[in-house]
Amino acid sequence: MTFRAIALLALLVLPLSPAAFAAQAPKHVVHVGKYRVERDVKPGRNRVVGTLVNTGHTRVHVAKVSFRLFDAKGHAIGRASDEIHDLNPGQTWKFHALAKGNVSRARLLRVEAR
């Protein structure tokens, strides 16, 4: 066998070995519920508020939600994010991501769970 064939075979076989599965971190399962932009009485001090639930069977050490922010004309004007540490299985977290500017709506960009 050539070196290329051996390398290709190793790449195909190694990820399927039991040792490879044991080394992988547990997958965290979280779910973002409904969210909305909440306006403050002071201009430019808005928040994206909503909920995130740990629907998995293990503790999430860090969970983070990130949003893209839009003005009334639909132009992207920034981002907002919030994070929590140590979210237990079945626990619900109410996030408050600070949204600076004249924000009319937000779109979920990313959810991270480690």
* C-alpha to C-alpha distances, 69 to 18, 35, 52, 99, nearest whole angstrom: 44, 13, 19, 7
What does the CA dihedral 77, 109, 72, 75 come to, rounded to 10 degrees? Answer: 50
Q: Which long-range contacts (CB under 8 A, 24 or more apart) does 74-82 make?
A: 77/101, 77/102, 77/103, 78/103, 79/109, 80/47, 80/48, 80/106, 82/48
Task: Give me the pLDDT at residue 114, please.
Answer: 94
Domain contains 11: no
For the chain, how many structural domains are there in total?
1
pLDDT for res 69? 97
Which pLDDT belongs to residue 21? 45
Give the pLDDT score at 78: 96
Tell me, yes or no, whether 82 lies in a domain: yes
Which range marks the domain in which residue 77 is found? 25-113
Examine residue 17 and state whether it is found in any structural domain, yes or no.
no
pLDDT of residue 34: 97
* Parts of the chain with a pLDDT under 50: 8-9, 13, 17, 19-22
Q: pTM of this prediction? A: 0.75
Q: Evaluate whether residue 8 is within a structural domain.
A: no
